[in-house]
Every structure is written in structure tokens, then in C-alpha cells.
């Protein structure tokens, strides 16, 4: 049973939209004002509370975003490859590489990240409940990936990674107070 070309192209477009969602989410969730959202959470704003819970498990959140984004990007590229191979034989690989790189870069990365950067707080608050669910769904996979990453960090003898993060946060706080 062959799937129609229209369905495949529609699926590729849908996957690029999902890529845009995950890329924008990454930027907005990491760029949002922690202080502003903390104040909203203290006043009982549900999405702000969800955001704070997400950010307490930052590695899990980032893992979820990266896993989901890579899944949709690889699937979109695989579908596009299957279509272009049919039309252009082995030259289709060259064409799909150019086309999908541009599509994902422009519409799946740059545009959504630029928008998310300027609307970080608003978007982060809107999508936090969605990512609360997604992090739960992907928990077994992201936990396994984090174990592998921790093993690799130890194997490569990268020390005090957590302490570096804390030191940088303290420096950022001092800089913000000075500002």
C-alpha cells in the first residue's frame, strides 16, 4: 500500500511545525525571566507553578526538548528522502540534504527561536503545562540518556560540571544586581 505524495508532504510540513514548536520552546523556557515567573508562581498562577516545577528538573526538560526535536527532524528528513529518491534516484540525497537543511534551519530553528526570544515569558507560561506532560512521557528515555551522559562526563574526566553551573549563576546574579 503506497501512501499518497500529498500525505507525505503534509506530514513533512507538520513535522517542521513540530520542530518549530520544540525549538521555540527551548528558547522561551530557558530565556524566560525566572524572577518574574517566580513572582507569578507566588501569587498562585498555575502555569508559573508548572514552569517552576519543570525548571527544578532542568536536565530532564532539556533532554525532553532535544529528544522530541531530533525525532521530528529525523523523521521529516527520512520522509523527504524517500520522496526525493523516488523522483531523482541517488541525486535525491543531495537535494534532500539541501532542502531539508534550509527548511529545518529557517522554519524549524531560526524563526521560532527568534520569536521565542522576544516573547519568552509569555510563551514559557503557555507551554509549561504541555512540557509537564511531555517530560513525564519521555522520562524513561531521558533518564537513560542522562545516565549515559553522566557516564561519558566521568569517563572524559570532566570534573565539577555542576559547580561551574552554580558559579556562573552566582556571577549572573551579581551582574544583575550591579546592573
**Amino acid 160: pLDDT:** 62
Contact assessment for residue 98 and residue 13, using Cβ atoms and an 8 Å cutoff: no
How buried is residue 94: exposed, middle or buried, by Cβ count under 10 Å (0-12/13-18/19+)?
Answer: exposed
Look up the pTM and report it: 0.84
Local confidence pLDDT in tens for the 179 residues of the chain: 478 999 999 999 999 999 999 999 999 999 999 999 999 999 999 999 999 999 999 999 999 999 999 999 999 999 999 999 999 999 999 999 999 999 999 999 999 999 999 999 999 999 999 999 999 999 999 999 999 999 999 999 887 665 555 556 666 666 666 55
- Listing DSSP states for 47-107 in one string gives HHHHHHHHHHTHHHHHHHHHHHHHHHHHHHHHHHHHHHHHHHTTHHHHHHHHHHHHHIIII
**Amino acid 175: pLDDT:** 63
Amino acid at each position: 500500500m503506497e501512501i499518497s505524495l500529498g500525505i507525505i508532504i503534509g506530514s513533512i510540513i507538520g513535522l517542521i511545525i513540530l520542530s518549530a514548536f520544540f525549538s521555540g520552546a527551548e528558547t522561551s523556557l530557558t530565556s524566560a525571566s525566572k524572577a518574574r515567573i517566580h513572582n507569578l508562581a507566588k501569587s498562585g498562577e498555575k502555569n508559573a507553578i508548572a514552569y517552576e516545577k519543570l525548571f527544578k528538573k532542568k536536565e530532564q526538560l532539556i533532554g525532553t526538548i532535544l529528544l522530541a526535536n531530533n525525532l521530528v527532524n529525523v523523521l521529516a528528513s527520512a520522509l523527504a528522502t524517500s520522496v526525493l529518491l523516488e523522483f531523482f534516484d541517488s541525486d535525491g540525497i543531495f537535494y534532500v540534504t539541501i532542502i531539508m537543511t534550509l527548511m529545518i534551519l529557517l522554519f524549524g530553528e531560526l524563526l521560532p527561536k527568534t520569536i521565542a526570544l522576544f516573547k519568552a515569558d509569555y510563551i514559557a507560561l503557555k507551554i509549561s503545562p504541555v512540557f509537564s506532560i511531555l517530560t513525564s512521557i519521555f522520562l524513561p528515555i531521558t533518564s537513560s540518556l542522562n545516565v549515559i551522559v553522566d557516564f561519558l562526563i566521568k569517563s572524559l574526566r570532566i570534573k565539577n560540571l555542576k559547580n561551574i553551573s552554580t558559579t556562573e549563576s552566582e556571577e549572573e546574579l551579581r551582574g544583575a544586581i550591579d546592573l
